[in-house]
Structure 1
Amino acid sequence: MPSLRRVVIDLLKPHEPTILELARLVGESDGVEGVDATLLETDRKVENVKLTIEGDDINFDDVRDVIDELGGSVHSIDKVAYGEYIVEERKTPQD
């Protein structure tokens, strides 16, 4: 079975915990080797955050559990990479 190597998640979370804490806790999930957290938007009650997660065999259920436990919710999964290695997106004539 191919391994999940990268996943990009758009999520909504309360103001607390901070994205520092969110990224640290997601980074402790099984198979995660690196996390990039970007604050996209803030309003009075929630923050919109983009998480880019990479690893050799990411356990997405663990990642989702961490997000849920922190009061966040996955808005969308915007990108995934499975396999022996990460295939980078390339421009094609249709682009």
Structure 2
Amino acid sequence: MSKGLIRIVLDVLKPHEPALPVFAKHLSKVEGVEGVNISLMEVDKDTETIKVTIQGNDLNYKKITNAISEYGASIQSVDEVVAGKRIIERVTTPQD
């Protein structure tokens, strides 16, 4: 398994079109991407706020951002990044 980026979670603002299945399929074609999960968080008059989770081997952040912008969407924040040989899930501590 790769030692590069293996999961990226993004908060993305996109126009209503393309539809979420089309957008997910588009992102799944980026080199290194093995899976895409999109959750609709909010719908406004002209836009949708979505949470995009991308998982794969040695993900190329620049190629992912380019694919997102090709469809008129923009990244609002990077909410999680996992790198290395395996996924380490976030641990809840008493301070959380």
Task: Give 1:93 deviation, angstroms.
Answer: 3.2
Q: Give SS of 2:86's match.
A: coil
Deviations 1:3-35 (A, max 9, x none): 100000001000000111111010110110000
Task: Give 1:83 deviation, angstroms.
Answer: 0.6
Structure 2 counterparts to residues 1-95 of structure 1, below 5 A = 2-95=3-96
Q: Percent identity?
A: 42
Q: Which amino acid aligns with 1:4?
A: L
With normalisation by structure 1, the TM-score equals 0.94
Task: Give 1:56 deviation, angstroms.
Answer: 1.4
CA-based RMSD? 1.3
Between the two proteins, the alignment pairs up a number of residues equal to 95
Deviations 1:36-80 (A, max 9, x none): 001111111110010001011111111111110100000000000
With normalisation by structure 2, the TM-score equals 0.93
Q: Which amino acid aligns with 2:54?
A: I
Task: Give 1:91 deviation, angstroms.
Answer: 1.8
